[in-house]
Every structure is written in C-alpha cells, then in structure tokens.
Amino acid sequence: MGDPGAGGWCQYDRAVEPVGVVEFERLVAEALDGLPDELVDLMDNVVVLTADRGDPPDLLGLYDGVPLTQREDYGGLVMPDRILVYRLALCEVCGDADELRHEVAVTVVHEVAHHFGIDDDRLDELGWA
C-alpha cells in the first residue's frame, strides 16, 4: 500500500503520475466519442463531469440520477443526471498512460450503462464492472 503524502491519498504502489485536468478531460471526451452514435442518441438529460476524487476516495466513477428505465414520472424542469469520472483515483489504479486511457473508457461505459438502468451485477457478467 502506498501512503498519503504530498500527492494526497494513494492506495496503489503502481500509480501512474496523475495527468492534468485538461488531459484527463480529453481522455473522457475520447471515451465518449468512442460510444456508438445509436447509444449516444438515446442518452437523455445527463452531463458527464470530471473531478479529482469521489467518496470513498478510491471510487473511479459515479452515476448520480434516475436511470432511463425508471423515468415514467421524470420530466419538467429536472436537473440533469450526472456521470462523474474521478481523475486521481483512476491514475492511482493504472500503471501507465495506455492503461489509464483504457480504464477511463471502461469507467465511462460502466457509468453510461447505469444511465440506461444496467446494474453492477449485470455489468460484472458482461465484463464491465
């Protein structure tokens, strides 16, 4: 286990040097661009954001909202759902830039799947947990 030092919380000894915010946002944008257009067209009232950390601090991503499968009474002036992708946590679980790119893409797919109502058990079955 790594220790929290000047760089902050780190529980992995293999952490890649954290990329900057702009570079991380570019990786998230690449992951979103990699989603099939047919899927993106079905996404509704959701925003994808980046942040340094979630709670708990090792959380890689989070879907915060009402899945499309549960929106029968959803509408009006409802704030958008949020998908959060956590920069420092993802950097800590990756050994290099290629692995980081891959894990960002996996995290984006995982959280988008929650937007479509797919739960963690099914994502695990599909290999996207």
Give the global pTM.
Answer: 0.84
The predicted pLDDT at position 5 comes to 33
Q: What is the pLDDT of residue 11?
A: 46
* Residue 64 pLDDT: 96
pLDDT digits (tens, 9 = 90+) for 45-77: 899 999 999 999 999 999 999 898 888 765 666
Q: What is the pLDDT of residue 15?
A: 74
Whole-number pLDDT of residue 6: 33
DSSP symbols for 5-67? BTTB----TTPPPPPPHHHHHHHHHHHHHTS-HHHHHH--SEEEEEES--SSTT--EEEES--
Domains belonging to the chain, first-starting first, are: 21-122 (3.30.2010.20)
Cα dihedral sign, 37-41-42-43: positive
pLDDT of residue 73: 65
User: Looking at residue 128, what is its pLDDT?
Assistant: 77
Q: What is the pLDDT of residue 71?
A: 80
Residue segments in the chain with a per-residue pLDDT below the cut of 70? 1-14, 73-77
**Per-residue model confidence (pLDDT) at position 129:** 72
Residue-averaged pLDDT of the chain: 86
